[in-house]
Chain A
Amino acid sequence: MWEIWQGIIAAARLLVTLDADLVEITLRSLQVTLTAVAIGSAIALPLGAWLAVQRFRWRRAVIATLNALMGLPPVVVGLVVYLLLSRSGPFGALGLIFTPTAMIIAQVIIVVPLIASIAHQAIRELWSDYHDLLLSLGASKRQRIATLIWDARRALLTAGLAGFGRAIGEVGAIMIVGGNIDHATRVLTTAIALETSKGDFALALGLGFVLIGLALLVNYAIHALSRTEREGRW
Chain B
Amino acid sequence: MSAILPARAEGLTVRRRGRTLVGPVDLDISAEGLTILMGPNGAGKTTLLRALHGLERLAAGRVLWGMPLRAARAAQAFVFQTPVLLRRSVIDNIAYPLRLQGVGRAEARARAAEWAGRVGLAQALERPAEVLSGGERQKMALARALIRSPQILFLDEPTANLDGRSMREIEAILREARAAGTRIFMATHNIGQARRLASEVVFLYRGRVHEAATAEAFFDAPATPEAAAFIRGDIVE
Q: How many Å from the CB of B197 to the closest CB on chain A?
A: 22
B128 engages A233 (CB within 8 Å): yes
Q: Which of B55, B86, B87, B88 contacts A136 (CB 8 A)?
A: B55
B236 partner residues in chain A, CB cutoff 8 A? none
Q: How many Å from the CB of A142 to the closest CB on chain B?
A: 11
The 0/1 profile, CB within 8 Å of A marked 1, for residues 74-89 of chain B is 1011101000111110
B84 partner residues in chain A, CB cutoff 8 A? 129-130, 132-133
Q: A132-B80, A133-B80 are in contact. Are A234 and B97 (CB under 8 A)?
A: no
B195 partner residues in chain A, CB cutoff 8 A? none
B77 partner residues in chain A, CB cutoff 8 A? 136
B85 partner residues in chain A, CB cutoff 8 A? 129
Q: Which of A126, A139, A234 contacts B128 (CB 8 A)?
A: A234
Chain B, interface residues (CB within 8 Å), range: 10 to 19
B55 engages A135 (CB within 8 Å): yes
Q: A138-B73, A233-B128, A233-B130 are in contact. Are A132 and B55 (CB under 8 A)?
A: yes
Q: Is B180 an interface residue (CB 8 A)?
A: no
Q: By DSSP majority rule, is chain A's interface helix, strand, loop, or mixed?
A: helix
Q: How many Å from the CB of A232 to the closest CB on chain B?
A: 5
A129 partner residues in chain B, CB cutoff 8 A? 84-85
Q: Is A24 an interface residue (CB 8 A)?
A: no
Q: A132-B55, A133-B80 are in contact. Are A151 and B86 (CB under 8 A)?
A: yes
Chain A, interface residues (CB within 8 Å), range: 10 to 19
Most buried by B among A126, A133, A151, A232: A133
B78 engages A136 (CB within 8 Å): yes
B88 engages A151 (CB within 8 Å): yes
Most buried by A among B84, B85, B97, B130: B84
- Within the assembled complex, what's the spacing in Å between the Cα atoms of A136 and B74? 9
Which residues of B25-71 are within 8 A (CB) of A?
53, 55
The 0/1 profile, CB within 8 Å of B marked 1, for residues 120-150 of chain A is 0000001001101101111100010001000
A151 partner residues in chain B, CB cutoff 8 A? 86-88
Closest to A136 in B: B78
B86 partner residues in chain A, CB cutoff 8 A? 130, 133, 147, 151
Q: A151-B86, A232-B128 are in contact. Are A137 and B100 (CB under 8 A)?
A: yes
B96 engages A137 (CB within 8 Å): yes
Q: How many Å from the CB of B108 to the closest CB on chain A?
A: 13
Closest to A137 in B: B97
Closest to A131 in B: B84
A133 partner residues in chain B, CB cutoff 8 A? 80, 84, 86
B76 partner residues in chain A, CB cutoff 8 A? 136
B96 partner residues in chain A, CB cutoff 8 A? 137, 147
A136 partner residues in chain B, CB cutoff 8 A? 53, 55, 76-78
Q: How many Å from the CB of A189 to the closest CB on chain B?
A: 37
Which residues of A19-70 are within 8 A (CB) of B?
none
A135 partner residues in chain B, CB cutoff 8 A? 55
- Within the assembled complex, what's the spacing in Å between the Cα atoms of A129 and B97? 16
B55 partner residues in chain A, CB cutoff 8 A? 132, 135-136
A130 partner residues in chain B, CB cutoff 8 A? 84, 86
B100 partner residues in chain A, CB cutoff 8 A? 137-139, 143
Q: How many Å from the CB of B157 to the closest CB on chain A?
A: 14
- Within the assembled complex, what's the spacing in Å between the Cα atoms of A87 and B5? 68
- Within the assembled complex, what's the spacing in Å between the Cα atoms of A143 and B73? 16
A147 partner residues in chain B, CB cutoff 8 A? 86, 96
A234 partner residues in chain B, CB cutoff 8 A? 87, 128, 130
A138 partner residues in chain B, CB cutoff 8 A? 73-74, 100
Closest to B83 in A: A133
A132 partner residues in chain B, CB cutoff 8 A? 55, 78, 80, 84
Given contacts A147-B96, A151-B87, 20 further A-B contacts (CB under 8 A): A126-B87, A130-B86, A132-B55, A132-B78, A132-B84, A133-B80, A133-B84, A135-B55, A136-B55, A136-B76, A137-B96, A137-B100, A138-B73, A138-B100, A139-B100, A151-B86, A233-B128, A233-B130, A234-B87, A234-B128
16 A-B residue contacts at CB 8 Å?
A: A126-B87, A129-B85, A130-B86, A132-B55, A132-B78, A132-B80, A133-B80, A137-B97, A138-B74, A138-B100, A139-B100, A143-B100, A151-B88, A230-B128, A233-B128, A233-B130
